[in-house]
């Protein structure tokens, strides 16, 4: 992700299951936000989905938003498992793939545009993970999503806020 410019990159994306529902990152200031990029043909991201589902349950009712962004297919038509997923050629096709991904998780699945603008803004890391604090500060960026790291970071942030944000 060499093209990443450090900091907060606002976006508004629609959800995979209901395109009338949108999520605007900036409108959720005051909440910890953690997200990863994923796709059908990204095995490491698919592996993380059930682990992030557990985090979703753990942080239910807390000031934490967890979600995944359906980005770019990494291995379109690769391997027998992915033969039905060539690189999407339309927004409609990309949304259909995102709905298939959404069926694998309890996380909200947001859909990046066909131009992958959000993926580009965050550095084109295929299974990248990002954590923003309640004040829109990017506090973690990783090249591979790992639920254990995300859990540690979120727990640390929640404690820090509960303690009054000590220096």
Q: Give tens-digit pLDDT for 16-61.
A: 999 899 999 999 999 999 999 999 999 999 999 999 999 999 999 9
Tokens of 51: 């682990």
DSSP label of 98? H
| C-alpha span between 156 and 148 (Å, rounded) | 12
Give the phi and the psi of residue 64 in degrees, each rounded to 5.
Answer: -135, 130
In DSSP notation, 134-156 reads TTS-EEEEESB--HHHHHHHHHH
pTM score: 0.92
In angstroms, what CA-CA distances link 118 with 113, 124, 145? 8, 9, 17
What is the number of other CB atoms lying within 10 angstroms of the CB of residue 30?
A: 10
The residues, any chain, with a CB within 8 Å of residue 5's CB and separated by 6 or more, are 121
| C-alpha span between 65 and 60 (Å, rounded) | 9
Q: What average pLDDT is seen over the chain?
A: 91
For residue 110, the surrounding DSSP H or E stretch is strand 109-111
pLDDT of residue 2: 60
User: What's the whole-number mean pLDDT along residues 79-85?
Assistant: 79
**Which of the pair, 2 or 57, is modelled with greater confidence?**
57
The residues, any chain, with a CB within 8 Å of residue 54's CB and separated by 6 or more, are 147
């Amino acid at each position: 992700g060499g093209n990443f410019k450090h900091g907060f990159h606002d976006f508004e994306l629609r959800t995979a299951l209901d395109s009338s529902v949108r999520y605007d990152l900036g409108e959720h200031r005051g909440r910890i936000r953690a997200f990863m990029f994923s796709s059908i043909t990204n095995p490491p991201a698919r592996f993380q989905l059930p682990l992030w589902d557990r985090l979703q349950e753990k942080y239910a009712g807390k000031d934490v938003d967890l979600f995944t962004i359906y980005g770019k297919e990494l291995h379109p038509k690769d391997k027998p498992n992915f033969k039905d997923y060539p690189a999407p050629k339309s927004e409609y096709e990309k949304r259909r793939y995102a709905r298939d991904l959404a069926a694998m998780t309890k996380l909200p699945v947001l859909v990046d545009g066909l131009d992958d603008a959000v993926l580009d803004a965050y550095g084109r890391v295929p299974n990248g993970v990002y954590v923003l604090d309640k004040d829109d500060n990017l506090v973690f960026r990783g090249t591979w999503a790992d639920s254990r790291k995300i859990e540690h970071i979120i727990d640390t942030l929640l404690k820090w806020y509960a303690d009054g944000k000590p220096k």
